[in-house]
């Protein structure tokens, strides 16, 4: 059936208030996109962080309502819900129903990270290079996991896992993916030779997505998922956390306690310029802390000190 679509620009700071208002007045769905993206297929989406909602600074917020919704009545209800928000830039249009997930997937292509790691949409044929015997192939539904090009933070972590695998540092190991989102990093680690993986996320829907993706990739028997409060206390030789810098700093004690002595940690979701503060927070427990950059984003890696 058709829908009434409302769209308006907003900032990262005010996005939660706009979204609460839209949901309160009956929005069927609310989605976010980068206001400066050149085209819909360039709208990369973060892996959701633990305790954080990674967003762009300026957004286009879109909400769907039943077709017979009166736009003027809807605006009045929104203004009454939160008078401080600016609803004057809201725009309406009628949109036809369709299989949005399939439509989005048609825009995505297989992507390679490092020497062996491939992220391949379900509807895509494998490229010839991905048919190599040692290729690590993760099949994902990209609707909520990534755009036409995986976000640089995720790419940095995938490249790191691929590099670990090239030195056999992943073989037979247990891996913690802290802030797992779709499970893309945990799945890649398993495909690259890890024995088991644990995914942790504060969003129950992320845990469902991770488990579903693990089943589709035939690794569900080797992956466990937990909310942060339910996560069993354990140490891991390999830990990856693709969340925001503020969360990495706040969770430094937690993440440090998860890395076994001599184990390795990779952190991303760090904007260029924030890496020094993250490094300083982890310097007391980690050696060989290094920062690598991709576009405007950084990855910090280190080795857990013994003792």
Q: In this structure, are residues 226 and 193 in contact, taking their beta carbons and an 8 Å threshold?
A: no
CB 245 within 8 A of CB 269: yes
From the list 6, 119, 113, 21, the residue with the least C-alpha distance to 61 is 6
Helix H or strand E segment including 5: strand 3-11
The SS3 assignment for 172 reads coil
Which residue from 124, 153, 156, 152 is spatially nearest to 138, judged by alpha carbons?
Answer: 124
- Is residue 154 marked as binding? yes
Q: What is the largest CA-CA distance in the chain?
A: 66
**Residue 201 marked ligand-binding:** yes
For the sheet with 111-113, list strands across it.
111-113, 117-121, 136-140
Any known ligand binding at 88? no
Helices 184-191 + 204-216 axis angle, to 10: 30
Dump the DSSP string for 12-58: TTTHHHHHHHHHHTT-SEEEEEETT-SSGGG---PPPPTT-----SE
296 annotated as belonging to a binding site for a ligand: no
Task: Detail the residues annotated as belonging to a binding site.
Answer: 154, 179, 201, 242
Task: Detail the residues annotated as belonging to a binding site for S-adenosyl-L-methionine.
Answer: 154, 179, 201, 242
């Amino acid at each position: 059936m058709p829908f009434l679509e409302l769209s308006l620009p907003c900032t990262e700071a005010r996005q939660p208030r706009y979204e609460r208002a839209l949901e309160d007045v009956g929005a069927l769905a609310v989605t976010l996109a980068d206001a400066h993206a050149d085209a819909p297929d360039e709208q990369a989406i973060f892996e959701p962080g633990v305790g954080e909602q990674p967003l762009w600074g300026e957004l286009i917020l879109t909400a769907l309502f039943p077709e017979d919704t009166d736009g003027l009545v809807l605006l009045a209800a929104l203004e009454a819900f939160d008078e401080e928000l600016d609803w004057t830039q809201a725009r309406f249009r009628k949109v036809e129903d369709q299989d949005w997930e399939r439509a989005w997937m048609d825009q995505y292509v297989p992507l390679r990270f490092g020497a062996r790691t491939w992220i391949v949409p379900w509807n895509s044929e494998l490229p010839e290079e991905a048919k190599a015997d040692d290729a690590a192939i993760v099949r994902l539904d990209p609707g909520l996991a990534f755009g036409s090009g995986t976000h640089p933070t995720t790419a940095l972590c995938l490249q790191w896992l691929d590099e670990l695998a090239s030195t056999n540092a992943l073989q037979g190991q247990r891996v913690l993916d802290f802030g797992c989102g779709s499970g893309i990093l945990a799945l890649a680690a398993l495909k690259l030779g890890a024995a088991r993986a644990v995914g942790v996320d504060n969003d129950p829907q992320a845990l469902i997505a991770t488990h579903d993706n693990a089943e589709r990739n035939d690794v569900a028997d080797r992956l466990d998922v937990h909310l942060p409060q339910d996560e069993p206390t354990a140490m891991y030789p390999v830990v990856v956390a693709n969340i925001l810098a503020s969360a990495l700093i706040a969770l430094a004690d937690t993440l440090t306690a998860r890395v076994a002595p001599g184990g390795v940690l990779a952190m991303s979701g760090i904007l260029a310029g924030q890496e020094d503060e993250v490094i300083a927070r982890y310097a007391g427990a980690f050696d060989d802390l290094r920062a690598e950059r991709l576009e405007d984003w950084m990855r910090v890696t280190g080795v857990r000190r013994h003792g």
